[in-house]
Chains A and B, each alone.
Chain A
Amino acid sequence: MSEPGVPGTAAGAVQPSSRRLDMDALVGYILLDGVLLSMALVVAGLFWHWLKTGHLVLDYQISGMNLFQLVGTEIREAVFGQLRPRLLVNLGIAVLMLTPFLRVVASVVYFVAFLRNWKYSLFTTFVLSVLTYSLFLRS
């Protein structure tokens, strides 16, 4: 995608290796793929809903569940043959919300395993733990 190992760019530091997949490219791929998958699910779900009902209004409320409980419920419904357009839209929104989360997971792995940069490993791990905490919160 982008030429590897361009020194002195916005990242501020020269990457130690120019052969490996660099951080910018990795982050870019994750964000782009996440948002594209999410949009595809939402559009497919809305289109299906429109075919079934002739309108686009999804009157449906989620409450009192965290993201994992909700996705779990939806997937159970899907397995038992109750796949509905709403499920696709919901999954799309879930994928959207999880995209930044995945990006942080990937940067932790990248800093720990590839760059062995302990300062940024620590920073990204901290951000990941705060995000994970908020993911399991129910209020």
Chain B
Amino acid sequence: MPNSATQFFAGLGVLGVFAGTMGALLGIGGGLIIIPILTLVYGVPIHQAIGTSLCCIIATSSGAAANYVEHRLSNIRLGMTLELATTVGAVAGALVAAALHREALAILFAVMLCYAGGTMVRRSLKASATEPEATASYTIRRWPLGMIGSGVAGVVSGLLGIGGGPIKVPIMYLVMGVPFKVATATSNFMIGVTAAASAFIYYSRGDVQLLLTAPTAIGVYVGASLGTHIMRRTPSRWLIRLFSAIMFYFAIMMVWKALRGGFAG
């Protein structure tokens, strides 16, 4: 852990800005970035890292969704329907998380990242030239599969504190036929509620620490505002590649840490 208090505070703020930008850009809420850094660099126990991350996801989601909803990029009816499955999953996940083994959580996290990342890369290489932009009209397909996927995303969110975005975005984009930008904007809209359902539970356990959450959340909000502006100006195929790259990178980090002897705290 960095020695000086100011350094500590500033570090968390910068982490927040980065996570918020990425979260708003890709619909992943930033938990993917916050949890590994808090556990690997700051040595925070994983349950507290998750508690902090859940609060930050709410900040990213609220900050970014306000913008995306205003620009009608989020499909809020799709979001509200998928929320049915995802909130139930989120509560269930948060309830069993405290009983689970930390290394098992980390490996589960990594497996999930690799799967989503691999699918996205394949898709981005196949269809990069003809990727539909957000304004294209689309028909939503395979609702039942989408609902099941959202339920799983909810459980994973409650377990791992990532808001479920890394699962919801691929589900909407790959399975339900939603354009990538609409998928990320809708995910941003939903993950606030998914994260809130688990956050209340982590909070009551004392796993939301002001020391960590306050500076990180401020940074995240600033980052989310930045991310929304960048997202609306960036071609979808670049966002898809960035999304996949981030997934693989953190999968490797989590596995490496778990194999090296687990998490501090």
Contacts and interface: CB of A to CB of B under 8 A. Distances in A.
B3 interface: no
Interface string B78-113: 101101100110110011001000000000000000
Contacts, number: 193
A32 B31 CA distance: 20
B187 interface: no
Given A2-B70, A100-B61, A139 B95 contact: yes
Interface in A39-83: 39, 42-43, 45-46, 55-67, 70
Contact of B62 (A2, A32, A60, A104): A32
B91 A134 contact: yes
B80 A124 contact: yes
B196 interface: yes
Interface in A1-57: 1-2, 6, 8-13, 23-25, 27-29, 31-32, 34-35, 38-39, 42-43, 45-46, 55-57
Contacts of A67: 200, 203-204
A109 interface: no
Given A24-B70, A131-B87, A134-B201, A42 B76 contact: no
Name A's interface SS.
helix
Interface in B173-192: 182, 185-186, 189, 192
Contact of B197 (A6, A66, A107, A131): A131
A107 B80 CA distance: 9
Nearest to A49: B214
Given A10-B72, A11-B75, A39-B221, A31 B192 contact: yes
The interface residues of chain B, by DSSP majority, are classed as helix
Nearest to B139: A12
Given A100-B62, A130-B87, A134-B94, A59 B211 contact: yes
A13 B206 CA distance: 43
A104 B69 CA distance: 14
A93 B264 CA distance: 26
A127 B193 CA distance: 9
B66 interface: yes
B88 A23 contact: no
A138 B201 CA distance: 7
B218 A58 contact: no
Nearest to A117: B77
B59 A38 contact: yes
Contacts of A65: 204
A56 to B, nearest CB: 5
A118 B83 CA distance: 16
B75 A96 contact: no
Given A12-B140, A89-B214, 6 more contacts: A13-B77, A31-B69, A39-B221, A93-B55, A134-B87, A137-B91
Interface of B: 5-6, 8-9, 55, 58-59, 61-63, 65-67, 69-78, 80-81, 83-84, 87-88, 90-91, 94-95, 98, 134, 137, 140, 182, 185-186, 189, 192-193, 195-201, 203-206, 208-211, 213-215, 217-218, 221
Interface of A: 1-2, 6, 8-13, 23-25, 27-29, 31-32, 34-35, 38-39, 42-43, 45-46, 55-67, 70, 86, 89-90, 92-93, 96-101, 103-104, 107, 120, 123-124, 126-127, 130-131, 133-135, 137-139
